[in-house]
Chains A and B, each alone.
Chain A
Amino acid sequence: MATSAVSKSAGSPGRNRGFWAQFLFNAWTYRYLYLMLVLPFVFFAVFRFYPMWGNVIAFKKYQLMHGIWGSQWVGLKHFNTLFDDPAFLRVLRNTVSIAVFKMLFTFPAPIILALFVNEVRHMAYKRFVQTVVYVPHFLSWVIYGAILYIVLSPANGIVNNIISSLGMEKVAFFQKPGYFQPIVIISSLLKETGWAAIIYLATISTIDLTLYEAAIIDGANRWQLMRYVTLPGLAMTIVTLFILQIGFFLNVGFEQIFILQNNMVLTTADVIETFIYRVGIRQARFDFTTAAGLFNGLVGMVLVLLADRLAKRLDLPGIF
Chain B
Amino acid sequence: MTYRYLEDIATADAAFEARGKDLEEVFIAAADATTNVMVEDLDSILRQEALHIEVENRELDLLLYSFLSEIVFIKDAKRLLLRFDGVEIEERDGLYYLRAKAYGSPIDPGRQPLKADVKAITLHRLSLIETRDGWRATAVIDI
Q: Do A and B bind each other?
A: no
